[in-house]
Amino acid sequence: MNRSQKISLTLVITFSLGLFLGITAIVMRRSGVGVWKIALAFAVAIAGSGGIISLIFFRKDKAATTHDERDEQIWKNAHLAGFGAVYLYVILMSFLPIGILGEEASIPVTWCPGLLIGAGFSQVFAQSLAILIQYGWGGKDGGK
């Protein structure tokens, strides 16, 4: 596994855990369980820890050639996947409140920064997933 694969795998794992905890927090809130705020804080912390883990543990390779044309092509495709994910996310988040709450409902203004943070997360998640898929999940093609 190369550095970008390790970073992507870390981000996919932490984001998935964060997403799972986030959904759990929402369910807890809906069902009236009091500790949903703690669960939500944990979700954000876990999702955000991926970047910090990557910075601490996955330093740049010392090999003569750290990346080449294939890596650049993979990163380019991954950026496109990330962009597509953000696009999809913004469309969904813009129309979901209407579909769920109805046309006459109102949403808090905190929806907007939440939308921005969520877009960032979805971009990084899709990009990491695209990198892992293109490298073949670090298997035979990934070359350990």
Site string for another protein, 37-76 (x = CB under 8 A): --------------------------xxxxxxxxx-x---
Does residue 127 bind another protein (CB under 8 A)? no
The rounded radius of gyration (Å) of the Cα atoms in the chain is 18
Indicate which single residue of 2, 54, 123, 127 sits in contact with another protein (rule: CB under 8 A).
2
The binding track of 77-116 with respect to another protein, each residue x by CB under 8 A or -, is x---------------------------------------
CA 77 vs CA 51, 84, 144: distances in Å: 21, 11, 22
Q: Distance (Å, rounded) from C-alpha 128 to C-alpha 133?
A: 9
Between CA 25 and CA 67 the distance in angstroms is 40
Instruction: Give the nearer residue to another protein in terms of CB position, either 2 or 10.
Output: 2
Q: With respect to another protein, which residue has the nearer C-beta, 5 or 10?
A: 5
Q: Tell me the three state secondary structure of residue 120.
A: helix
Q: Does 134 bind another protein (CB under 8 A)?
A: yes
Number of residues that bind another protein (CB under 8 A): 19
141 near another protein, judged by CB under 8 A: yes
SS3 string of 3-62? HHHHHHHHHHHHHHHHHHHHHHHHHHHHCCCCCHHHHHHHHHHHHHHHHHHHHHHCCCCC
Binding site for another protein (CB under 8 A): 2, 63-71, 73, 77, 134-136, 140-143
